[in-house]
Amino acid sequence: MACKTLLSVVTHQEDTALSMAALDAAIALARRQDAHLDVLALGLDQTQVGYFYAGASAIVYQETLERAQSEAETVEAHVRQRLAAEDIRWSVDRAVAQLGAMGALIAQRARFADMVVLPRPYGAGRGPADEAVIESALFEGQAAVMVLPDGMVSPPAFDRIVVAWNQSPEALSAIRRALPMLQRAGVVDITVIDPPAHGPERSDPGGLLSQWLSRHGVRAEVSVLARTLPRVSDVLMRHVRDRDADLLVMGAYGHSRFREAILGGATRDLLETTPVPVFMAH
């Protein structure tokens, strides 16, 4: 199924410029795929409940709410100005939410999008909201998410794609969602890192996936790599560079989000360093 509805979320904080760059990329993708682009202009109420002396909460809540509404209005005006001259179908909605209550708001919109296009959530100028938006789209919204590296306003053609395959449900979900892009690609590299010696694919790692993809017209090949670096993400990124790939498809958060945040994991590591767009699903 082709992508016919794209969603991008633009917030008003330190990363506003990054969100607007991701919006430019979403516009380019919508034009390329003849899709409708929905944009959510989001104002964040970052009130920390319980941190104020008695009687101050009502005043603080009112001030922060008004500030968040003003920020959302400013973002909406910028987005509408940016989209006004574009030759695509688009719509803009404005909303305000507290950081802890973003999940339902983002999910309601992501649930009815074929793909959510967002900037990288980690690095300079980012905050907790960036990670929360991506996780809300993936988990509560059950949506596919494309995360863009910094500065990318015109995504490549996605002609050379690396697919990270570890036999997990998350990886298979991402591959199924990415099937239209895989069918259009010139080269699809199914990458298996350090496959288990006693797993169900021990005699032919990636073989069944390659067969299934070929029946859908995907030109796929399999690369089986040893884990020669401490982190799986480092091996995968090196392979992406070696293959000169322009898109990575992978499952998101195979471990719990808490474990990824505290101990690290492939999803977080890749999103911190990726030089290419990453297409994810959970």
Task: Give the model's pLDDT for residue 59.
Answer: 57
Task: Give the model's pLDDT for residue 40.
Answer: 96
Domains of the chain: 5-148 (3.40.50.620), 160-281 (3.40.50.620)
Strands 278-281 and 145-148: antiparallel
**Structure tokens, 154:** 């015109």
Beta bridge partner(s), residue 95: 42
Coil, helix or strand at residue 137: helix
Task: Give the model's pLDDT for residue 128.
Answer: 80
Query: How far, in Å, CA of 40 to CA of 263, rounded?
Result: 32
Q: Which residues of the chain have pLDDT under 70?
A: 1, 13-16, 46-61, 254-264
| Average pLDDT over the chain, rounded to an integer | 87
Task: Give the model's pLDDT for residue 100.
Answer: 78
Task: Give the model's pLDDT for residue 158.
Answer: 96
Task: Give the model's pLDDT for residue 16.
Answer: 65
Task: Give the model's pLDDT for residue 259.
Answer: 43
Query: How far, in Å, CA of 213 to CA of 42, rounded?
Result: 38
Task: Give the model's pLDDT for residue 262.
Answer: 42
Q: What is the pTM of this model?
A: 0.89
pLDDT tens digits for range 171-228: 999 999 999 999 999 999 999 999 887 777 777 899 999 999 999 999 999 999 999 9
Task: Give the model's pLDDT for residue 280.
Answer: 95
Task: Give the model's pLDDT for residue 11.
Answer: 86
